[in-house]
């Protein structure tokens, strides 16, 4: 109790010191942006070094976190909160998130370990084995040694192995001859081509199609935002039927925010909201009145499943995009099929033309006339 009272007193003193130093005046948004830009690389490097020391302390104090009488968990959380106030860039945000994840994982592991202590420990299991299957033996130095009767133990557990005793035999006939490996025919020598040809370059239209699909998805999302004025982030990007389409919706939303056509805010409950806005002009960007900031948005398969559980069914705003099939290939041009028969001569017809009335087919005795002319020559 004394340690908790000391921590509360320290927080009260820090709060009073901040109030005395700041004079109770809240800083505006431009002042916060100027303070963010004034943070140099050296300060960020020192902050990342403090986060590394914090993660090392979390790893070293894993056993102390599992003790009920220890106040180490509260101390680490307070230190993490103090470092979080100095975070302003994405790189430090990642270090802060990793520290929170390490502390949570270690604390969860300690809780699970304390729950498992109520079960059978390895030492109790070995003691039970020695008490049931142990035999007293006399060693060379006349000292009693407790040994395990492995035969008795094997008979006791043989019923759980479910293996029927039997005779080991070889299945199959005894006169099987090994297969003779066939000799491969020598490979014919390849003749190098005399003429050099260059393949025709085919341009891929996939990138242009993907860009057009992204633009269409952005336009659909912006029209939905203009219609509903303000929407929840999960309801705007979630697609229950497809994880990939959910990622594409997040990708389109990032472009809208980058262009200044949408903004992300949050209410008093911490729910993230997305609202449309007018994009700033190029003059405002060049003059410095509008600045771009970045943040890290982590999303994976587990987040998608959790979002489905938290959001009511039917609250999704983005429509489901059906996959477009490639157009069927056009039938190729018909080519004439030539047949050569020793008795009927040579025939030529169009196999893919059903209206062929046999005008191109030579008569049956044409082959005989050709053969007579060849013999006369």
What the chain holds in terms of domains, given with CATH numbers, is: 2-17+43-113 (no CATH), 207-310 (1.10.10.580), 338-372 (no CATH)
Say if CB 58 and CB 100 are below 8 A apart. Answer: no
pLDDT in tens, the chain (377 residues): 455 666 677 777 777 766 654 444 444 444 555 555 556 888 888 999 999 999 988 888 877 777 767 788 888 889 989 999 988 888 889 999 999 999 888 888 877 776 666 656 677 778 888 888 887 665 555 566 678 888 888 888 887 776 666 777 777 777 777 788 888 888 888 777 777 777 777 666 666 666 678 888 888 888 998 898 888 888 888 898 899 999 998 988 888 888 888 888 888 888 888 888 888 887 777 787 777 777 778 888 998 998 888 888 888 888 888 754 334 334 445 555 555 555 555 544 444 444 444 444 444 454 455 444 445 44
Q: What is the pTM of this model?
A: 0.37
The candidate with the shortest Cα–Cα distance to 351, out of 328, 331, 327, is: 331
User: Tokens standing for 365?
Assistant: 């005795």
Query: Helix, strand or coil for residue 258?
Result: helix
Supply the pLDDT for residue 94.
Answer: 92
Q: What is the DSSP letter of 350?
A: E
The DSSP bridge partners found for residue 266 are 272
DSSP state string for 26-67 = PP-HHHHHHHHHH--HHHHHHHHHHHHHHHHHHHHTHHHHT-
d(Cα 1, Cα 45) in Å, to the nearest integer? 37
Q: What is the DSSP letter of 144?
A: E
Supply the pLDDT for residue 18.
Answer: 64
Residue 279 CB neighbour total at 10 angstroms: 14
Give, in order, the Cα–Cα distances in Å from 170 to each of 173, 174, 196. Answer: 9, 9, 61
User: Tokens standing for 127?
Assistant: 């003691």
By the 10 Å C-beta count (0-12 exposed, 13-18 middle, 19+ buried), 157 is classed as: exposed
The DSSP bridge partners found for residue 265 are 273
Sequence-ordered alpha helix ranges (H) in 61-199: 62-65, 72-84, 90-116, 122-133, 150-161
What is the SS3 string spanning 240-265?
CCCHHHHHHHHHHHHHHHHCCCEEEE
Supply the pLDDT for residue 145.
Answer: 67
Supply the pLDDT for residue 65.
Answer: 76
Supply the pLDDT for residue 329.
Answer: 37
Query: Helix, strand or coil for residue 295?
Result: coil
Supply the pLDDT for residue 142.
Answer: 56
Q: Using alpha carbons only, what angle is made at residue 300 by residues 294 and 301, rounded to the nearest 5 degrees?
A: 160
Per the listing, tokens 């010191």 go with 17
The DSSP bridge partners found for residue 264 are 274
Measured in degrees and rounded to the nearest 5, phi and psi for residue 59 equal -70, -35
- Give the HSE-up count for residue 21: Cα atoms under 13 Å, Cβ half-sphere: 6
């Amino acid at each position: 109790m004394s340690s908790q009272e000391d921590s509360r007193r320290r927080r009260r003193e820090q709060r009073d010191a901040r109030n005395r130093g700041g004079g109770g005046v809240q800083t505006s948004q431009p002042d916060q942006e100027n303070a963010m830009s004034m943070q140099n690389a050296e300060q960020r490097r020192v902050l990342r070094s403090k986060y590394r020391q914090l993660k090392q302390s979390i790893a070293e104090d894993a056993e102390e976190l599992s003790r009920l009488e220890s106040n180490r968990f509260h101390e680490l959380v307070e230190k993490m909160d103090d470092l979080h106030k100095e975070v302003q860039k994405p790189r430090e945000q990642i270090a802060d998130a990793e520290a929170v994840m390490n502390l949570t994982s270690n604390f969860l592991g300690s809780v699970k370990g304390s729950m498992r202590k109520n079960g059978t420990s390895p030492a109790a299991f070995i003691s039970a084995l020695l008490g049931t299957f142990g035999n007293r033996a006399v060693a060379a130095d006349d000292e009693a040694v407790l040994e395990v009767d492995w035969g008795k133990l094997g008979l006791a557990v043989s019923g759980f192995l479910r293996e029927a005793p039997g005779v080991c035999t070889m299945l199959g006939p005894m006169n099987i001859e090994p297969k003779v490996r066939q000799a491969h025919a020598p490979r014919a020598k390849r003749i190098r081509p005399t003429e050099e040809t260059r393949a025709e370059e085919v341009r891929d239209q996939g990138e242009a199609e993907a860009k057009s699909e992204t633009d269409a998805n952005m336009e659909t999302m912006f029209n939905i935002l203009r219609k509903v004025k303000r929407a929840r982030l999960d309801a705007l990007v979630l697609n229950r039927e497809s994880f990939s389409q959910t990622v594409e919706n997040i990708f389109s939303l990032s472009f809208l925010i980058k262009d200044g056509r949408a903004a992300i805010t949050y209410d008093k409950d911490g729910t993230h909201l997305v609202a449309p806005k007018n994009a700033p002009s190029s003059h405002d960007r060049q003059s410095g009145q509008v600045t771009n900031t970045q943040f890290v948005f982590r999303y994976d398969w587990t987040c998608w499943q959790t979002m489905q559980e938290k959001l009511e069914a039917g609250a999704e705003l983005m429509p489901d995009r059906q996959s477009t099939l490639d157009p069927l290939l056009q039938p190729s041009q018909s080519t004439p099929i030539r047949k050569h028969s020793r008795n009927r001569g040579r025939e030529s017809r169009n196999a893919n033309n059903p209206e062929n009335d046999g005008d191109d087919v030579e008569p049956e005795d044409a082959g005989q006339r050709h053969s007579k002319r060849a013999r006369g020559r």
